[in-house]
A and B are shown apart, each in its own frame.
Chain A
Amino acid sequence: KNEVEQSPQNLTAQEGEFITINCSYSVGISALHWLQQHPGGGIVSLFMLSSGKKKHGRLIATINIQEKHSSLHITASHPRDSAVYICAVVGTDKLIFGTGTRLQVFP
């Protein structure tokens, strides 16, 4: 079993839909990253959070440390949001990556 699990693995949506991607982890962490990677591209850090909730534009990330769970929400999804979203937890100075969620948003 992976230390960081994401669900769903694949997600398709129509433009405008509200999207949720979930991340559960089994190790102790100091923080959690949500990362975005477009096909063939590099990685962009969307959020790093260690408690509560953060919002940036149409993106919202929440974390529940007690339940070892985080969610990434995208409101009013757009085709340009199509990418792989990766949850990564900060262990002892290293990132432990989730398996990624491939999102496709259709017009």
Chain B
Amino acid sequence: DAMVIQNPRYQVTQFGKPVTLSCSQTLNHNVMYWYQQKSSQAPKLLFHYYDKDFNNEADTPDNFQSRRPNTSFCFLDIRSPGLGDAAMYLCATSIHLGQGAGNEQFFGPGTRLTVL
């Protein structure tokens, strides 16, 4: 089945130790998103790729970086995780149909990050 896969599902890291979260998709969608979701809050968009074009949200900290080496894979790098970065990280994909067109997003299962 076509899907969005995130690895690992659970990640524990130490304060300040870099961590990389992975997202892959078999949907061949041209847009990939990374969201951060803290407990009892709505997901917050960190950045998205439209093909290889990277679009950073204005309030995304510099500590968060992303790479998209090809259509299928996208990585979230947290360079120096702080305690406040503990959250669920969600990857989503969509097909960009053009301005004004509704783009259904397909979500992965998420990676829960714990920072010790």
Contacts and interface: CB of A to CB of B under 8 A. Distances in A.
Interface of A: 29-31, 33, 35, 40-45, 48, 50, 86, 90, 92-95, 97-100
Given A93-B96, A94-B45, A99-B42, A30 B110 contact: no
A45 B105 contact: yes
B70 interface: no
A97 B35 CA distance: 12
For this complex, into which size category does the number of interface residues on chain B fall? 20 to 34
Of listed B6, B92, B103, B108, residue having the most chain A CB within 10 A: B103
Contacts of A29: 102
B102 A48 contact: yes
Given A94-B45, A97-B42, A50 B107 contact: no
Interface string B70-93: 000000000000000000101010
Contacts of A48: 102, 104
B100 interface: yes
Contact of B110 (A42, A45, A86, A100): A42
